[in-house]
């Protein structure tokens, strides 16, 4: 059977999704709990304070998103380096405060999510591999981490950020629960009065032992959904149902709200196979990205434990993305149309309550 064209498919589910999202509409008079979010990222020092960024952020707000997750990044040389530092790719504090203020002006709530990246990734390692084999080295690294994260916790307090992420995908470092429970989290609580979350990697979240010290569970949800390079929508959805069921069983024991602090797919073949892997897929495939958005939203918007999604990622340029682009951004692609259907539809349902 010939597959329906993408515009026809989008029009076809425009009515269907309204039925799905009614399940998470808030009770009358209650604050909507579901965080309709998008990640907002730059690796340029002053980009967040540029007119291009202001215009792009306004377009983000027009999708129906109500939350924006703002990323800022520090660095360390290697996985076993103990010095954490900013460089020319780290947004300046001035530009970061500017973009937070602009987000608030556009009616968006903000999650501030500091990252650490490795400058030397030649061995295929990433932030999840940061770690050491002795207590002394761990102590030295955590002292540097505390200085780094408190810097942003204070900015979050100053700029009235609504949600602060204390760490991202630190799979090895997160096993050192005592440091987090006795030093990192208590010190952040002193500096910042809002709610706290940690963003665990998709294969890390069950191993965290300090969820009880935080307000929310965060998962960067790059779950593999299928082995096919060009799967059908139903296959992608089935992949998400499997993972959603697994999270649901786990969440009943942890009894914390779960927010998918990152979820995203590139617009290319193999996008649903290993969503985190930039090396897979060279051919642009806009339909796979749109189907991945649709499948995730169809499944997750109906799960009681899922309190928000943040799509990776929106760029600080209104001209980003486009029909020839195979990167993660949904900008100027069919995936953005899917996102607007769901996010704006949720707003319509909430207003009708």
- pLDDT for the residue numbered 273: 93
- pLDDT for the residue numbered 256: 93
Report the alpha-carbon angle 220-27-57, nearest 5. Answer: 45
Of 347, 234, 352, whose CA–CA distance to 298 is shortest? 234
- pLDDT for the residue numbered 346: 54
pLDDT interval class at 282 (50, 70, 90): confident
Bridge pairing between strands 258-263 and 306-314:
parallel
| Average pLDDT across the chain, whole number | 90
Query: In sequence order, which residues have a C-beta less than 8 Å from that of residue 301 and are 6 or more positions away?
Result: 17, 20, 21, 23, 24, 34, 342, 346
Beta carbons of 342 and 297 less than 8 angstroms apart: yes
Residue 25 has pLDDT above 90, yes or no: no
pLDDT interval class at 41 (50, 70, 90): very high
Residue 30 has pLDDT above 80, yes or no: no
Global confidence as pTM: 0.90
Whole-angstrom CA distances from 31 to 1, 27, 44, 60, 306 are: 45, 8, 35, 21, 16
- pLDDT for the residue numbered 278: 81
Share of the chain above pLDDT 70, in %: 89
Residue 28 has pLDDT above 50, yes or no: no
Beta carbons of 206 and 251 less than 8 angstroms apart: no
Report the alpha-carbon angle 261-143-92, nearest 5. Answer: 55
Whole-angstrom CA distances from 100 to 64, 111, 113 are: 18, 9, 12
Q: Kindly report the backbone phi and psi dihedral angles of residue 168, in degrees, each rounded to the nearest multiple of 5, phi listed first.
A: -135, 115
- pLDDT for the residue numbered 32: 47
240 vs 231: CA distance, rounded Å: 13
pLDDT interval class at 23 (50, 70, 90): very low
The separation between CA 97 and the C-alpha centre of its own chain, rounded to angstroms, equals: 20
The domain covering 32-352 belongs, at the CATH homologous superfamily level, to Glycosidases (3.20.20.80)
139 vs 78: CA distance, rounded Å: 17
CA quadruple 214, 220, 226, 232: dihedral positive or negative?
positive
First to last CA, the chain: 41
DSSP 329: -
Token pair belonging to 236: 């992608």
- pLDDT for the residue numbered 122: 79
Residue 14 has pLDDT above 70, yes or no: no
DSSP 35: E
Whole-angstrom CA distances from 32 to 260, 322, 337 are: 17, 32, 23
134-159 residue pLDDT tens: 999 999 999 999 999 999 999 999 99
333 vs 290: CA distance, rounded Å: 8
pLDDT interval class at 124 (50, 70, 90): confident
Facing residues of 67 across strands?
Answer: 37, 109
For the chain, domain boundaries: 32-352
318-351 residue pLDDT tens: 999 999 999 999 999 999 999 999 999 854 444 3
CA quadruple 233, 320, 318, 260: dihedral positive or negative?
positive
pLDDT interval class at 251 (50, 70, 90): very high
155-171 residue pLDDT tens: 999 999 999 999 999 99
353 vs 344: CA distance, rounded Å: 15
């Amino acid at each position: 059977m010939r597959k329906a064209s993408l515009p026809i498919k989008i029009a076809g589910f425009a009515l269907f999704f309204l039925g799905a999202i009614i399940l998470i509409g808030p009770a009358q008079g209650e604050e909507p709990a579901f965080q309709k979010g998008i990640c907002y990222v730059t690796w340029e020092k002053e980009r967040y304070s540029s007119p291009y960024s202001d215009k792009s952020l306004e377009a983000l707000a027009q999708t129906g998103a109500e939350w924006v997750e703002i990323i800022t990044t520090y660095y360390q040389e290697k996985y076993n380096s103990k010095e954490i530092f900013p460089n020319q790719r780290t947004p300046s504090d001035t530009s970061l405060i500017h973009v937070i203020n602009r987000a608030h002006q556009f009616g968006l709530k903000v999650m501030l999510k500091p990252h650490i990246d490795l400058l030397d990734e030649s061995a295929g390692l990433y932030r999840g591999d940061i770690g050491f084999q002795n207590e002394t080295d761990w102590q030295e690294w955590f002292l540097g981490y505390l200085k780094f994260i408190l810097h942003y916790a204070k900015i979050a307090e100053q700029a009235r950020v609504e949600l602060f992420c204390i760490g991202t995908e630190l799979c090895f470092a997160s096993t050192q629960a005592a440091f987090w429970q006795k030093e990192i989290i208590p010190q952040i609580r002193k500096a910042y009065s809002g709610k706290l979350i940690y963003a665990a990697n998709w294969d890390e979240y069950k191993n965290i032992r300090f969820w009880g010290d935080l307000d929310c569970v965060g998962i960067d949800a790059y779950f593999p959904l299928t082995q096919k390079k060009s799967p059908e929508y139903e296959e992608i959805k089935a992949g998400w149902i499997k993972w959603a069921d697994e999270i649901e069983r786990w969440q009943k024991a942890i009894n914390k709200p779960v927010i998918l602090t990152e979820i995203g797919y590139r617009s290319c073949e193999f996008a649903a196979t290993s969503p985190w892997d930039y090396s897979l897929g060279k051919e642009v495939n806009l339909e796979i990205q749109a189907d991945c958005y649709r499948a995730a939203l169809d499944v997750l918007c109906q799960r009681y434990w899922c309190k928000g999604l943040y799509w990776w990622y929106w760029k600080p340029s209104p001209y980003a993305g486009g029909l020839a682009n195979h990167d993660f951004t949904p900008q100027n692609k069919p995936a953005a149309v899917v996102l607007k259907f769901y996010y704006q539809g949720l707003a319509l349902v909430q207003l009708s309550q």
